[in-house]
Chains A and B, each alone.
Chain A
Amino acid sequence: MSRGNPTSSSLTPTDDALIAAIRTGDERALAHLYRLHWPMVSHFVLQNSGSEDDAQDVYQEGVMVFYEKVRDGSLELSCQIKTYLYAVCRRLWLKRLTSKSRFGVRLLDDEEHGPYLNTGAEEDVLAAEEQDRRFNTMSEALNHLGEPCRSLLEGFYLLDKSMQDLTAEFGYTNADNAKNQKYKCLVRLKKLFFAHYKEEPI
């Protein structure tokens, strides 16, 4: 991981450069960002009665929120990346702690990370939770779909296989047959997905 200028990346100009690089799909930039802020979050979680694994989960979740927003281009950063990540991870860890603990939870904050409120992290975390729920429903729906539909759709959409490969794999006579089968499967998936997804309370 040798980025040109890995020094003091918490400053806004470098933040901008980093975000731009991540948006273009530069994996090294993402890795750099990941390594840069890991100590902060891991320290925070360890300090607030979490384990190393908890820290990793929370941090990956947090970076995921950030990463998806960057890729969408919907990230509106009003503060440094560092502060944003801290706020997101703080929110995520607080949520986990409250669900685990019978008592009220108070977090020990690192003062140096400044005001973690009003960073927009709250809404972003809520949106990410909504997205999570959608993915979970999708995964459920795929599981309920049954074979061969599930393998076919997973192959096409999740594993990125071409129709030709899938035709051969599932033994269809030609690609058109496979495609028709795929569409039928999609219709069934749609019914399952929306039935579950819309029925659940928001």
Chain B
Amino acid sequence: MMTEADYYALFEAYADGELAGPARASLEARMAADPDFALRYADFTELTGTLRAYRQRQQAREQLRGIHAAMLAAETPEAAPAAEQPAKLTHTVNPMLRISRTERRLREFWSGHRATVGVAASVAVMAVFATLLGLDIWRNSHLPTPSGYQALRREVERIKKSQKDLKLTLNTQLGKETAPVVASKFSGTGFALTSEGYLVTSFHVIQGADSVLIEGRNHQRYRAEPVYSDVKHDLAILRITDKKFTGFGRLPYAVKSGQADLGERVFTLGYPREDVVYGEGSLSARSGFEGDTAFYQVSIPVNPGNSGGPLLDERGNLIGVVSGRQNDAQSAAFATKSSYLVRLVDSLAATAKADAPYHLPRYGQLAGSGRPQQLKKLQDYVFVVKVYEKD
């Protein structure tokens, strides 16, 4: 009986091709007939094969290591001899060819932590911007914004009903000579400034106007054109251009050129709706929104449409022009001071046309009479200002 070692001797001889013809043939025949025997041979070849491959692998590894070392030596010819020389020479002779150890370390750090550094940097940048933005928003939200201020011109579109009334009146009063009425876009209040046909309203009422119509209490309508606008003080002067207009007659109120006193009882007339509306209160501050000294603050409840209305004191002197209100405060309305109106008229009078001079009413007729009597006289001089815009 052969031992396994004996078989291995046989296998080795067979694998090396040293086996003589008959022995070789009998071995091959046995391998073909006996699968176990063939497996045993396969194990033998795998074992020796692995050993040989292992050896080759080791040799190849040595070879590559040698190549790498040779390559490095060829790449940096200075490096090898420099290492043997005293240290001071390496730095003085070849300062440029070597990367210092610190720089090398830095480079390694950079290549290793580049992604992390990038993420950290972008987070930092984002944090900075978020903070700045947040601060800005916070600060803005604590500022009293002009959005608290509301100009009081009225959008007429909302009330469709008025259309019908308007059309009806037109047809009865003017016959059929007018074309179908285009709905006015905004409306405000205006009042007579001189008996010659000048009117005052707020600038923001006629802002962007294509054409302006004046409508009185008795539904008398006149065409008007803006003559002058003072954006800063929210004033506008209109002139009636209709030929059939003959003049207002004597105005019942005088325009006060000085300032009114705190606490004076004041009232206004206006057209926040189709009908004229009376509003009463007192002069609560001598400066307007955000301390604007061109305006009064008055405690009259006003609504969109009141803009441009006259503000009068108890004796019936015109002391201001209603302009706007503060949304977030209880009944705080603002009116342009009449002194600015006087100044504006004075400056305009110098350049006025001869056929339409400015004659401001000097004396009022309202002093002493009761409020209802005052209003009866007044309401003929307060008008709806209707503004049409191009579509």
Q: Identify the A interface with B (CB < 8 A).
A: 1, 27, 30-31, 34-35, 38, 46-47, 49-51, 56, 60, 63-64, 67-68, 71, 131, 134-135, 138-139, 153, 157-158, 160, 179-180, 183-184, 186-187, 189-190, 193-194
Contact = CB atoms under 8 A, between A and B. Distances in A.
Interface in B96-130: 108, 111-114
Given A35-B71, A38-B71, A158 B60 contact: no
B58 interface: yes
Interface of B: 4-6, 8-9, 12, 43-44, 47-48, 50-58, 60-61, 63-65, 67-68, 70-71, 74, 108, 111-114
Nearest to A56: B68
Contacts of A194: 43
B51 A179 contact: no
A194 B47 CA distance: 9
A67 B67 CA distance: 14
Given A64-B61, A131-B53, A187-B8, 17 more contacts: A1-B74, A31-B67, A34-B67, A38-B71, A47-B111, A49-B113, A50-B111, A60-B61, A60-B68, A135-B57, A179-B9, A180-B9, A183-B12, A186-B5, A187-B5, A189-B47, A190-B44
Given A135-B50, A187-B8, A64 B71 contact: no
A157 B50 CA distance: 10
A168 B36 CA distance: 36
Contacts of B113: 49
Given A49-B111, A49-B112, A160-B55, A34 B50 contact: no
A193 B64 contact: no
Ranked nearest first, the 4 interchain pairs of A and B with the lowest CB-CB distance are: A183-B5, A183-B8, A157-B51, A49-B112
Contacts of B54: 135, 138-139, 157-158
B221 to A, nearest CB: 78
A34 B68 contact: yes
B50 A30 contact: no
Contact of A190 (B47, B61, B67): B47
A46 B50 CA distance: 34
Contacts of B64: 30, 34, 60, 63-64, 67
Given A47-B111, A51-B108, A60-B61, A31 B70 contact: yes
B111 A183 contact: no
B326 to A, nearest CB: 59
Contacts of A71: 56
A64 B61 CA distance: 7
Nearest to A137: B50
